[in-house]
Structure 1
Amino acid sequence: MTDLLEVKSLKKSFGAVEVLKDVSFSVPSGTVTVIIGPSGSGKTTVLRALNALDPADGGRIRIGDVAVDFDSTVSPAQLRAFRAQSGMVFQQHNLFPHKTVLQNVIEGPVIVQKRARDEAIAEAHRLLDEVGLDVKSDQYPFQLSGGQQQRVGIARALALRPKLMLFDEPTSALDPELVGEVLAVIKGLAAEGWTMVIVTHEIRFAEQVADEVLFIEGGVVVERGKPATVLRNPTEARTRQFLQRILA
Structure 2
Amino acid sequence: MTDLVAVESLAKAFGDHVVLRDISFDVAEGTVTTIIGPSGSGKTTVLRSLNALEIPDAGVVRIGDCTVDFSTIKPGHRGRLPKADRQLLATYRAKSGMVFQSHNLFPHKTTIENVTEGPVVTQGISKEEARTAAAALLEQVGLSEHADKYPYQLSGGQQQRVGIARALALKPSLVLFDEPTSALDPELVGDVLGVIKDLAAEGWTMVIVTHEVRFAQQVSNQVLFVDGGLIVERGGSEVITDPQEPRTQTFLKRILEPI
Name the TM tier (shorter chain). over 0.9
SS in 2 for 1:71: helix
Q: 1: CA distance between counterparts of 2:215 and 2:11?
A: 28
Structure 2 unaligned regions, length at least 5: 75-84
Deviation at 1:73, TM superposition (A): 3.1
Q: Following TM superposition, by how much is the alpha carbon of 1:134 offset from its aligned partner in structure 2, in angstroms?
A: 1.4
Residue in 2 that maps onto 1:129: 139
Distance 1:73 1:171 in 2: 33
Distance 1:232 1:136 in 2: 39
Q: Distance in 1 between matches of 2:126 and 2:68?
A: 29
Q: Distance in 2 between matches of 1:106 and 1:13?
A: 36
Moved over 2 A (4+): none
Q: Which amino acid aligns with 1:169?
A: E
Aligned to 1:32: 32
Match of 2:243 in 1: 234
User: 1:140 corresponds to which residue?
Assistant: 150
- Which residue identity lines up with residue 20 of structure 1 in the other structure? L
Secondary structure in structure 2 of the residue aligned to 1:166? strand
- Aligned-pair CA distance for 1:172: 0.3
**Which residue of the partner structure matches residue 223 of structure 1?**
233
Q: Which residue of 2 aligns with 1:63?
A: 63
CA displacement at 1:144 relative to structure 2:
0.3
Is 1:174 the counterpart of 2:179? The answer is no
AA of the residue aligned to 2:180: P
Q: Distance in 1 between matches of 2:66 and 2:145?
A: 37
For 1:226 and 1:182, how far apart are their aligned partners in 2?
Answer: 22
Tell me by how many angstroms 1:70 deviates: 0.7
Q: Which residue of structure 1 lines up, in the alignment, with residue 205 of structure 2?
A: 195
Find the counterpart in structure 1 of residue 109 from structure 2: 99
RMSD between superposed Cα atoms in Å? 0.7
Q: Distance in 1 between matches of 2:66 and 2:127?
A: 27
Matching of residues 4-43 of structure 1 within 5 Å: 4-43=4-43
- Output the CA distance in 2 between the equivalents of 1:176 and 1:16: 37
- Which whole-Å CA distance do the structure 2 matches of 1:80 and 1:170 have between them? 24
Of 159, 165, 175, the match for 2:169: 159
Q: By how many angstroms is 1:113 displaced?
A: 1.2
> What residue in structure 1 maps to residue 256 of structure 2?
247
Q: Distance in 1 between matches of 2:92 and 2:9?
A: 18
User: Structure 1: which amino acid aligns with 2:19?
Assistant: V
Find the aligned partners of 1:73 and 1:138 in 2 and give their Cα distance. Answer: 42
Give ranges in structure 1 of 5+ residues lacking alignment: none
State the alpha-carbon separation in 2 of the partners of residues 157 and 232 from structure 1.
Answer: 31
Deviations 1:198-242 (A, max 9, x none): 000101101110001000000000000011x21011110000000
Aligned to 1:73: 73
Q: Give me the identity figure in percent.
A: 65
State the alpha-carbon separation in 2 of the partners of residues 126 and 56 from structure 1: 36
Partners of 2:148 and 2:7 lie apart in 1 by 40
Mapped to 2, the partners of 1:197 and 1:84 lie a distance apart of 16
In 2, Cα distance between the equivalents of 1:181 and 1:235?
32
Superposed CA deviations along residues 114-164 of structure 1, whole A, max 9, x for unmatched, are: 111111110000000000001101000000000000000000000011000
Output the TM-score relative to the length of structure 1.
0.98
Paired AA for residue 191 in structure 2:
E
